[in-house]
């Protein structure tokens, strides 16, 4: 185990700050975590345990030191396979805050943008960079909890340093590690179609037709690879994107219609079931 402060894990998936948060979790008994999504970007830095990670239909077989990137549209969850202690760093970053780091001269959003475009989220740093990234996380956590003058400023500086080396590690990661990803080309195609056509007819019949796959095979394979039924995935994706649109300033009804909900009452029920809040509570300034 590393020497940085250990945080008590909770199922909270909302940020308390407007910039970034960093945590070090060590669970002797691994928690049960369901599929979820969040408004911010996440860096998941795996340290130990027996874990694979499902993101949008791809399952990543994790090794200690692996890093996963998720954005504010990704539906994901860890699959924990044994009672081995589960340790990880987790960094949450608000999208607006991450975008503002471009003012420093380098596009520190690049790894997230590229990973989202390629739909491939795994980083496996070489040993020297891995050690350095761990060290930065330790310093970030100590400054987070420090009371000395400038501690919060140091925490910000360490985050910037971490993001620089994270981008370097991302773009240096070899394609060979794709062997540790379980995926299905046809299901990837279906997921991509859903993401690109949320306002369209996304019935089983329609998806089977446009993706040239039988309905029964699609239904079975989709659940196998994504961990969710087709209906569950589509609803979760639609309300997630609607939330992001509302947060960015779109009118609630506009987000509802553009994400494929033709009935506001159904949208409201699905939204509140997913987030426990009314859509209007996500409007800017609320």
Domain match, 168 and 263 both? no
Q: Do 167 and 212 fall into the same domain?
A: no
Q: Which stretches of 146-197 are DSSP H helices?
A: 151-172, 185-196
pLDDT at site 1: 58
Give yes or no: residues 195 and 120 share one domain.
no
In a domain, 261, yes or no: yes
pLDDT at residue 104, as a whole number:
87
119/166: higher pLDDT:
166
Rounded distance between C-alpha atoms, residue 213 and residue 255, angstroms: 30
Q: Say if residue 135 is in the same domain as residue 200.
A: no
143 with 65, same domain? yes
Q: Please name every residue paired with 89 in a beta bridge, in sequence order, or none if there are none.
A: 24, 45
| In a shared domain, residues 128 and 25 | yes
Last residue of a domain, one of 181, 200, 215: 181
Instruction: Tell me what pLDDT residue 82 has.
Output: 93
Q: Helices 151-172 and 127-144: crossing angle, nearest 10°?
A: 160
Number of domains in the chain: 2
Q: Identify which has the larger pLDDT, 33 or 175.
A: 33
Q: Are residues 53 and 118 in the same domain?
A: yes
CA distance 182 to 61: 8
Q: What average pLDDT does the chain have?
A: 94
- Same domain assignment for residues 149 and 197: no
The CATH number of residue 231's host domain is 1.10.10.60
Tokens of 282: 């996500």
The verdict on residue 69 lying in a domain is yes
CA distances from 80 to 28, 58, 63, 87, 92 (A): 12, 15, 13, 12, 21
* Cβ burial, residue 205 (10 Å; 0-12/13-18/19+): exposed
Same domain for 197 and 158? no
* pLDDT tens-digit readout, 124-173: 999 999 999 999 999 999 999 888 999 999 999 999 999 999 999 999 99
Same domain, yes or no: 77 and 139: yes
In this structure, are 49 and 141 located in the same domain?
Answer: yes
Residue 52 is assigned to a structural domain of this protein: yes
pLDDT tens, position by position, 223-269 = 999 999 999 999 999 999 999 999 999 999 999 999 999 899 999 99
Q: What's the burial of 148, exposed, middle or buried (CB within 10 Å: 0-12/13-18/19+)?
A: exposed
> 42: which strand partners?
70, 92
Single out the residue in 158, 181, 204 at which a domain terminates: 181
Domain limits for position 252: 184-282
pLDDT of 34-90, one tens digit each?
A: 999 999 999 999 999 999 999 999 999 999 999 999 999 999 999 999 999 999 999
Q: Report the alpha-carbon distance of residue 260 to residue 198 in Å, rounded.
A: 6
Residue 175 and residue 39 share a domain = yes
């Amino acid at each position: 185990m590393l020497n940085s402060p250990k945080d008590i894990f909770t199922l909270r998936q909302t940020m308390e700050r407007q910039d970034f948060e960093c945590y070090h979790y060590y669970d002797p008994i691994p928690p049960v975590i369901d599929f979820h999504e969040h408004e911010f970007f996440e860096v998941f830095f795996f340290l130990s345990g027996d874990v694979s990670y499902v993101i949008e239909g791809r399952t990543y077989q994790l090794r200690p030191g692996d890093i996963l990137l998720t954005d504010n549209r990704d539906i994901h969850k860890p699959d924990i396979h044994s009672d081995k202690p589960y340790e990880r760093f987790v960094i949450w970053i608000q999208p607006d805050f991450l975008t503002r780091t471009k003012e420093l001269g380098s596009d520190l959003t690049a790894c997230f943008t590229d990973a989202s475009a390629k739909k491939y989220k795994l980083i496996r740093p070489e040993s020297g960079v891995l050690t350095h990234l761990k060290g930065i996380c330790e310093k970030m956590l100590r400054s987070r909890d420090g009371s000395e003058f400038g501690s919060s400023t140091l925490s910000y500086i360490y985050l910037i340093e971490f993001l620089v080396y994270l981008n370097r590690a991302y773009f240096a990661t070899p394609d060979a590690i794709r062997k540790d990803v379980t995926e299905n080309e046809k299901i990837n195609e279906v997921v991509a179609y859903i993401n690109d056509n949320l306002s369209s007819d996304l019935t089983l019949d329609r998806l089977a037709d446009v993706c040239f796959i039988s309905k029964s095979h699609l239904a079975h394979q989709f659940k196998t690879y994504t961990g969710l039924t087709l209906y569950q995935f589509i609803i979760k994706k639609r309300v997630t994107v609607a939330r992001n649109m509302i947060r960015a300033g779109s009118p609630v009804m506009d987000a509802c219609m553009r994400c494929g909900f033709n009935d506001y009452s159904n949208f409201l029920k699905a939204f509140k079931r997913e987030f426990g809040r009314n859509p209007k509570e996500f409007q800017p300034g609320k």
